[in-house]
Structure 1
């Protein structure tokens, strides 16, 4: 009986192995048919297997098996993404190393003890996105001149002492709406610059100095709200990046907390070191946000309460600006909120962008 059981067990193992091999053959056949490049990598970053699209893209040959992936993809953005995996869900976009007009997206996924690298050709999507950015930037720029003329004339006419009262109200409304449109145009232009500019003037940012400046501006803005605003700095660590854009993003978070907290509230601005980097937070005891809205807050022109947003002078672009600025730092925007109790908006910066002191 023992020999028979062993033979049956061996036969079952053989059948199971055959099933596994059959499934693997099907998977590989399917991957070979894909137009996107698929590469299976060992844990030492060497090539194990690839499909025809990957062979065409990287000019691979049969004797390239076992070679390092970095011998074939030399783009610095890919190496940084591969090694740090700071944005694993988004992958990394980059221009092709052979054809600068061609754009690729790489996504790395754990595959057991190995890694699966998929490379998509996103040239068409990249061009469409570029067209959208250029369109928004050009339209926003063209609107500035007529808006400036309109605002100038409205300011002159509104100050006339002999203007009839019923006309005065109309001019006040036109002045308010043109000012609001001007804020929207300015935010759109800022957002377009952040998206279009691939390089910025990067330097050491003294966060203590920057946050003190943001705190002083917040106190000036706080005059009509009468909030109690606190600044808490627990580390002298700074960041490496563009101070102008970072100032805009962090100021947006602070101003939002002031606007959406009932008068006499408490707001805490903090900067602290974490195990993975540094974190900027703005905590308030304001109106809070319902859970279903949180995931969409960084969308352009998304508003929870359109009437309240217009009343507070919001453009619906502030958090979109924050999102795009933080993306340049590989940072994440974390939002915690309870309706009726308050919210905490945190910008979490990875250690790769943290600097302990200004360079000499």
Structure 2
């Protein structure tokens, strides 16, 4: 027995896919969305919005043509809006992670705004990320609390291990065990310290902001690198082409840049070359570290700044890495609205760099 499937004829297909029908379905789809969608023209005026946006922003038909800034006045939204607009005007791509902020109506709610510019218009989407924000805060609190609680017992263990290791009458069979315990408690202490630092940066703990003398800071980073380099025998060069400094937290920036330089030392075979540079660019100033080390496969690069992510876990443990260094770098650079750029080739070497916009650059003159 055969079944005669109904096949739509040409006229039925035309009816199903005519422009009016498609537009009607699209409008119904936009209205069904729980996320707010707003269309903005080249003069920052509201031209269209869906039901969710009308409820979120209390929009009525008479509000068409008014400025988006009459309804969203948060400074972080203004800054994000201008950044997206500027990049679009210059025909540049922007790393669009959107902007997170507390709701202007209910401080207990958190929103995420993402905007896409096209032609002279912009499409703004607003998501309610309150639940995700609360989960992220719980994770941060947990990490910070556990790290604090681990610090005291670790200090006690390290103290006793140091005292026992200094005893001259320790039986030989215990010496190896004490050495391993000392190494591993020291490694755990480094992890705890990095977790605490990362927690402070993530929760934007109050820190001192001011002028950072980059020549002085990079000289300090270079001196520390030379001390660490004694067992590696690398040739390390420091190139400073500008005396311009930055405005920010010197403590956090020093930690981030030191992490990049120490990583270059650790992952370059003995007798390698490492270049540290600070140069002026058309966009501001750029810091970079280049090595001729083992390199990184491109499949790993996008995940390098994740906590505890390891390209080679065995090598990372051998070098004493905590797996948190690049995560710290990522969060410190976020304070300057920039990101870590990584270029690498296996067996050839790597370059880690960050460009600081002119708004953060400070000149001595």
How big is the shift at 1:60? 1.2
- Deviation sequence 1:231-267 (CA, Å, 0-9, x none): 1111222211111111100100000011111111111
Match of 2:101 in 1: 94
Match of 1:203 in 2: 210
How big is the shift at 1:355? 2.2
Residues 206-355 of structure 1 correspond to what in structure 2 (within 5 A)?
206-355=213-362
CA distance in 2, matches of 1:346, 1:29: 46
Match of 1:40 in 2: 39
- Deviation sequence 1:120-146 (CA, Å, 0-9, x none): 000110000000000000001000000
Residues 119-268 of structure 1 correspond to what in structure 2 (within 5 A)?
119-197=126-204, 199-268=206-275
* SS, match of residue 340 in structure 2: strand
Unaligned runs of 5+ in 2: 1-13, 88-93
| 20-29 vs 170-179, greater mean Cα deviation | 20-29
Instruction: Quote the RMSD (CA, aligned, Å).
Output: 1.7
| 19-28 vs 103-112, greater mean Cα deviation | 19-28
* TM-score for both structures, normalised by structure 1: 0.91
CA distance in 2, matches of 1:352, 1:27: 42
CA distance in 1, matches of 2:286, 2:295: 21
* TM-score for both structures, normalised by structure 2: 0.90
Q: Does 1:72 align with 2:76?
A: no
Runs of 4+ in 1 over 4 A off after TM superposition: none
- Deviation sequence 1:253-282 (CA, Å, 0-9, x none): 000011111111111100112222221000
Match of 2:11 in 1: none
Work out which of the residue numbers 114, 120, 123 in structure 2 matches 1:113: 120
CA distance in 2, matches of 1:241, 1:21: 55
How big is the shift at 1:199? 4.7
CA distance in 2, matches of 1:128, 1:150: 33
**How many residues end up aligned between the 2 structures?**
343
CA distance in 2, matches of 1:199, 1:173: 38
How big is the shift at 1:21? 4.4
